[in-house]
Structure 1
């Protein structure tokens, strides 16, 4: 299968590292013009330089904006060209006990993980509908179906993203615009690598081996029995953004290694 998105413009939020960068990289290799987004000019410029080296023929731009509030979304949208593909990847996570999670924390997670996608979709999808083609992807998580006891606040926002994706898909039904959510499981992204570095250094094991032990300790239902890598998640996203995926909309697509223990 050859995926060609030449002539399409993709916006990938929070794409200076981790899964977001891998998605931006994958889309750039298909010929899409890609807009990188991050919270600092330094991170955006570094990601652009890295991506230009990996995809020298790609058309790339960067926008600095923190999507944790409405002002940040406005900053990102200001002067933005028409976008054919929107990947809502911006999100935060962290371990906090439910009984110690205050209102401000709930609000911070809700604004970043849910409202960022609401705001950008509300602003950008009508033009996709008018043109008769578009792709919207919400990067949710297996935690949206398998709520973690130590991150209830995070799990709730990821469930909300799945609902938002399905509802928006219904709203634009028949328009040529598809809307889907992608649910990664434990993934060896930059954040997980940092979290596991002390254990890696202590044991002398490879990062992949330590990550596999982490997965089996905290997600023992994993069928692949390891962490996914960021490219494995990005591959699903790139496919769902393609013209070949035109019959898939309103779906919650798992890249969780089989962590969620059901057949759907």
Structure 2
């Protein structure tokens, strides 16, 4: 009974309070609270099916959450080459609710949801990967997150937890709203920033070394600053898993 009540509170609070957030970290925090509600619901059902659903949901949410935070970090640092259209001084500072400056050197580059506005026009591949991850969080078929929620709801309905299943479905629809808000800003809004003019003609010389031996001399330009393979490879793999899970025949 305690687990069911905790699940109910987590589902309602995580979904409703998440709608009021403007900061990306707080939004993801309340999103996690909502997902914990599904996990607690699975734990409160005494069946083998619910245990399998719990393990699967925990796995898929962990890798999706990892993917989303890696993407936010990369997106944040990619915006260091850009400045705001109307006020260049906004490049390194953001105003929070208490009117205090938050410097990027002391905080993660992406703090507000509005900072993702129009990012599709800067890097469509990272934008698409983030959108797929957010759709998975929302439980949109045929992505990985949909099957996690389906398994838990199926176990709950089979064991007579009809009311909790209805609450989980309703709160899942509500929480999908703030994911769609992020996607709308990424793909359908125009960006507030442009490339810093000081970096357009930026050129520098660099060295590729291996064991203190110079392998190759290279010319560094703005156009060839790319995401390292140590980040792009796990993001690609996780996004691929989230997308093509429907083709895996077994659970």
Q: TM-score, normalised by structure 2?
A: 0.25
Higher relative contact order (CA 8 A, sep 6+): 2
Give the TM-score taking structure 1 as reference length. Answer: 0.24
Q: Which has the higher helix share?
A: 2
Whose radius of gyration is greater, 1 or 2? 2
